[in-house]
Amino acid sequence: MVGDGERHGDGERLLAAVDIARAALLDEGQRPGAHRRSVAEGDWAAAHYFDAELAGYRGWQWCVVLAGSPGSDEITLSEVVLLPGDGSLLAPPWVPWAERVASGDLAPGDLLAAEPDDPRLVPNQIDTGDEFRFDSESVEPDDIGQVAGELGLGRKRLLSPEGRADAAQRWYDGDFGPGSEMAQAAPFSCCTCGFYVPLAGALRAGFGACTNEFAADGRVVSAEYGCGAHSDVQGPKGNGSPAYDAYDDGAIEVVAISRDAEPART
C-alpha cells in the first residue's frame, strides 16, 4: 500500500527538469539546440526533445528520457536517443534486392537468375534424342531440328502463359506500341510494312521485329505501331529539302529607291 506521504507520481518535476536533460546531452559531447517539448511517459518518466544541430541530420531531434521512483527525490537518466522529426531527411524504405532490380539495370558481366518458382516460366521436356525418331526418309534432319526449336526442346524452362501475357502487355503499352506519340502520328501501321518481320509462336499475330535501320531497327514492335519510315510512305517532291523548294542564296533583290531619299545616318 502507498502511504499518505508517498507521491503517486513524479510527472510535473520530471517535465520541468529541462536543465538536467540538456546536461545529459552535454555530458555525451553533443550540442543540443532549442528545447522543443516535454512529454510525460507515465507517472514516473518524461521525455525531453531538443533540436539536433548535426550536419546531415536536418529535422532530427535528441530525445532524453528522465525517470523517477517512489520514495526517492533523485532524477535518473534513462536513455538518450536521436530520433527523426517533422520534415527530417530519411532514407527510403528498404526494398529486397530481388524487388529492387528494374529494367535496364543489367550490365555486362552481371548475373540475374530467375527464381525457381518464377511465374513467367514453366518446366519443359528435355530432348534426349530418343523420343523423336523418324523412319520416313522423306523427313530431313534440318526439318526435325526446326520443329524441335519451335517447340523449345532442349531448354529446361519455357515461357509460361502468364509470362507471355505480361510481355505482350508491356510491349503493347511501351514506346513501340500503338499508343505512343510516334504511332499516333504515323500514316500506316507496321503490319503492312515491308520492314516488319512477325515473331514466331503465339506472339506472331501481335508483334514483330523492325528491320529498318532508320526506324526501330532490331526492336520488338506492335503490329499496330507505326512510324514515318513505313515502306509505303511517299516523300514530298521538290528540288531542295524534302519539304521545301531550293533556296537561291546568290539571287539579287532589286529595290527602287527615290532620288530625294536621304541616306540613313548613324
CA distances from 244 to 237, 238, 239, 241 (A): 9, 6, 8, 5
**Would you call 10 helix, strand, or coil by DSSP?**
coil
221-245 pLDDT tens trace: 999 999 999 999 987 665 555 666 6
**203 DSSP 8-state letter:** G
Ranges of H-type helices in 75-180? 97-100, 141-151, 161-173
Q: Which residues of the chain have pLDDT under 50?
A: 1-5, 130-134, 136
Ranges of CATH 3.10.450 domains, the chain: 11-84
The pLDDT, as a whole number, for residue 174 is: 96
The x, y and z cell numbers of residue 43, run together, are 507517472
Contact call for residues 200 and 150 (beta carbons, < 8 A): yes
CB 166 within 8 A of CB 120: yes
pLDDT for residue 3: 42
The per-residue pLDDT for 46 is 95
pLDDT at 96: 87
pLDDT at 243: 62
Instruction: State whether the Cα torsion 27-29-34-35 is positive or negative.
Output: negative
Give the pLDDT of residue 131.
46
Contacts for 24-27 with beta carbons within 8 Å, 24 or more apart? 24/64, 24/77, 24/80, 25/50, 25/62, 25/64, 25/80
Task: Give the fold, CATH level 3, of 11-84.
Answer: Nuclear Transport Factor 2; Chain: A, (3.10.450)
Residues in the chain: 266
The whole-angstrom separation of Cα 213 and Cα 227 is 13
Q: Cβ distance 100 to 93 under 8 Å?
A: no
Q: What is the pLDDT of residue 110?
A: 84
Provide the CA 94 distance to its chain's centre, in angstroms.
15
State the pLDDT at residue 1.
35
> Are 33 and 50 contacting, i.e. CB atoms less than 8 angstroms apart?
yes
Torsion of CA 113, 119, 120, 121, to 10 degrees: 70
Specify the DSSP class assigned to residue 107: -
Per-residue confidence (pLDDT) for residue 98, from 0 to 100: 75
The answer to whether 36 and 53 are in contact (CB under 8 A) is: no
Residue 148 contacts residue 127 (beta carbons within 8 Å): yes
- Whole-number pLDDT of residue 86: 83
